[in-house]
Amino acid sequence: MELIIFTAMDGLATHIEQFRDLAVLAPSQLDQVNRLIEGTRPPDALYLDDTRAAPLAELWRTATLARRTGVRVFVNFPGTARAALNEAQGAGLPALAERDPAVVATWLGEQLGLRPGTGLRSSAVIAVGAAKGGIGKTFATCVLAEGLRRRGLQVLVWDSDISNPGLVPAFRVPSSAPSYLHLIQRGPAHWNPTGIEPFIYQPEHTRGTAEGWGAIDFLIGSHAVARAENDVRLPDWQGFYHGTAALSGYDLIIVDTPPDYLRRPYATHVLQSGGTVILPTPPGARERMGVGHLLDHLRDHAPDSLERCTLLFIEPERGVTATVPDVAALFQRRYPQVRPLGTLPRAPRLASLADEHDGYISMLDLGPHSAFAGAVHRVADTLCVRLGLQPTLPMPRSSFWARMHARLRGDRTLAVPTPAVA
């Protein structure tokens, strides 16, 4: 069954995911809802509420269009449209006035005759967002995934920045890896855990280890995006997101989002759906201005969820005069709800060694006792506490002598790799 929900109710989509055999689309604009209803494959049901402050006349127009095409319509008017509740019930529409997302989800399930699944998803979802390219978004995604993997956690990385496939070369993903773009083209009926699981790439080099490390799996769509027909419409991405969020077996899902957040507001959708947004924040003027623009956007569209946004500071590049403490104080004054996650130091030598290696290798493997590795582990530990994750391994720590010995050896444990041939 396919259900469209038009809502800004925080957590509603998460509660709806408890039902079996249900594909959910969550467009953010009524014109997107109308296009889906008028398409060749209209949904089975439509849920509308007034939490997005859409004019009542437009809500009625969409409801009428849906009923005309045979789509079941359900309405919820807990806010400004509450006076129209009796009119909706008189027109034969199942209607209520309720602000609790759990109650609304239960009511919808009863109306649609759906059975609860095994419960709400056990995995947390975070989106790594940015307002401009080159800010360190893919870098942050890579090191967070590896840091959490070393705590024994199972991580799924979803590369949704299909216009700039940074995760593909970073993790050495081959062109033969399955692409979720093909699954999106099959339609909403396939956007559920059963349909998505065969498209998850599970490389050997990020499997669990004898030390008890977890694994990193991938949803990749980047190797075939040169063609315009492979672009993903926002309603399709939102529907696919809900199927992905319902996957079992992962402690955390990390979504690498594109920088064009106005046309592809993926980070906004993650925040509205109960997830967390991490913003890499170098202290340079242009970079911090971009972070501010994205925070303003998130504050406008999810004002009650801004406390689930967090800043991951990155030390400035050589020549940048602004410092992390100065910039952190600026953000604290302007966005008091947003908390810092920590600071990652620059490690250009480790990054270069990792890039030049023939196969995939993590910077944490090249410098396990470096200041960079220590910072990554502290950030990963803070993230676990914030999200309520339960690592099976303690935070890796290095003794004073281990750090001194690594420094004498050049801050690496592996030999300098031979540069790969292009």
Neighbours of 395 (CB within 10 A): 14
CATH architecture classification, 124-408: 3-Layer(aba) Sandwich (3.40)
User: pLDDT at position 234, please?
Assistant: 83
Which position has the token pair 């009542």? Answer: 56
User: pLDDT at position 421, please?
Assistant: 36
Tell me how far apart the alpha carbons of residues 268 and 277 are, in angstroms, rounded to a whole number. Answer: 8
Residue 261 has φ and ψ, to the nearest 5°, of -70, -15
pLDDT in tens, the chain (422 residues): 888 999 988 888 878 877 776 777 888 889 989 988 998 888 899 999 999 888 999 999 999 999 999 999 999 999 988 999 999 999 999 999 999 998 999 999 999 988 765 444 457 999 999 888 778 899 999 999 999 999 999 999 999 988 777 888 899 998 889 999 889 888 888 888 999 999 999 999 998 777 899 999 999 986 554 454 557 888 888 889 988 988 989 999 999 999 888 888 999 989 988 899 999 999 999 999 999 999 999 998 888 889 999 999 999 988 888 999 999 999 999 999 999 999 999 998 999 999 998 889 999 999 898 999 999 999 999 999 999 999 999 998 776 555 555 565 555 444 334 344 33
Which stretches within 302-370 are classed as H helix?
324-334, 348-356, 363-366
Listed in sequence order, the residues at least 6 apart from 207 whose beta carbon sits closer than 8 Å to its beta carbon are 215
Are the C-beta atoms of 158 and 256 separated by less than 8 Å? yes
Phi-psi map region of 342: left, alpha, beta (phi>0 left; psi -120 to 50 alpha): left
Tell me how far apart the alpha carbons of residues 8 and 60 are, in angstroms, rounded to a whole number. Answer: 18
Tell me how far apart the alpha carbons of residues 217 and 204 are, in angstroms, rounded to a whole number. Answer: 10
User: pLDDT at position 414, please?
Assistant: 43
Tell me how far apart the alpha carbons of residues 200 and 220 are, in angstroms, rounded to a whole number. Answer: 8
Distance between the two ends of the chain, CA-based, in angstroms?
Answer: 47
Pairing of strands 252-256, 216-219: unpaired
User: pLDDT at position 230, please?
Assistant: 58
What 376-382 contacts at long range (C-beta under 8 Å, 24+ apart), as own/partner pairs, is 376/143, 376/144, 376/146, 376/147, 376/344, 377/147, 377/150, 378/342, 379/144, 379/147, 379/312, 379/341, 379/342, 379/343, 379/344, 380/144, 380/147, 380/148, 380/150, 380/151, 381/151, 382/341, 382/342
Q: Do domains 2-112 and 124-408 have the same CATH topology?
A: yes
- The token duo for 244 is 């992905």
Radius of gyration of the chain (CA): 23
**Which of 1, 85, 90, 102 has its CA nearest to residue 48?**
85
CATH architecture classification, 2-112: 3-Layer(aba) Sandwich (3.40)
3-state secondary structure of 45: strand
Tell me how far apart the alpha carbons of residues 239 and 265 are, in angstroms, rounded to a whole number. Answer: 14
User: pLDDT at position 261, please?
Assistant: 87
User: pLDDT at position 53, please?
Assistant: 85
Which stretches within 69-189 are classed as H helix?
85-90, 101-112, 137-149, 167-170, 180-186
Instruction: Kindly provide the b/e burial profile for residues 189-202, where b requires at least 16 CB atoms within 10 angstroms of the residue's own CB.
Output: ebbbbebbeebbbe
- The token duo for 247 is 């996957």
- Taken as a whole, the chain contains a residue count of 422
Residue spans of the domains in the chain: they are: 2-112, 124-408
**Which of 380, 365, 370 has its CA nearest to residue 147?**
380
